Amino acid sequence: QVQLKESGPGLVQPSQTLSLTCTVSGFSLSSYGVIWVRQPPGKGLEWMGVIWGKGNTNYNSVLKSRLSISRDTSKSQVYLKMNSLQTEDTATYYCARGQTDYWGQGVMVTVSS
């Protein structure tokens, strides 16, 4: 069955870089896009970006200068890197397949010194 699972550090210091991994199973990254969405505590959902089956990407313009999404199809993994983190980046980060049909469980990331 289709599964996605996020992993990464729970705590990141301000101004540092966040690195998250989304490990997928039950489908091929060459056939489906994967998106990243984040949710600050008690708030709504924000789309961050997508990596498509062909490997091209689209980013939310408000994050574009800090954000990079890549993948390794042989490992069935999608990566998110975002630099210059601030406290406002504290959130639960989700990966999801394509048009939001399957979601991971999310990983909570706190930005704090």
Partner 1 sequence: DVVMTQTPPSLSVAIGQSVSISCKSSQSLVYSDGKTYLHWLLQSPGRSPKRLIYQVSNLGSGVPDRFSGTGSQKDFTLKISRVEAEDLGVYYCAQTTHFPWTFGGGTKLELK
Binding site for partner 1 (CB under 8 A): 35, 37, 44-47, 50, 58-62, 94, 96, 99-106
Q: Which is nearer to partner 1, 57 or 90 (CB)?
A: 57
Q: How far is the CB of 99 from partner 1 (least distance, A)?
A: 5
Q: Which is nearer to partner 1, 15 or 100 (CB)?
A: 100
Question: Residue 24 contacts by C-beta under 8 Å, 6 or more apart in sequence?
Answer: 2, 3, 4, 5, 34, 76, 77, 78, 95, 97
Question: What is the DSSP pairing of strand 67-72 with strand 46-51?
Answer: unpaired
Q: CA 16, CA 33: separation in Å to the nearest integer?
A: 27
Q: Which is nearer to partner 1, 19 or 46 (CB)?
A: 46
Q: How far is the CB of 100 from partner 1 (least distance, A)?
A: 5
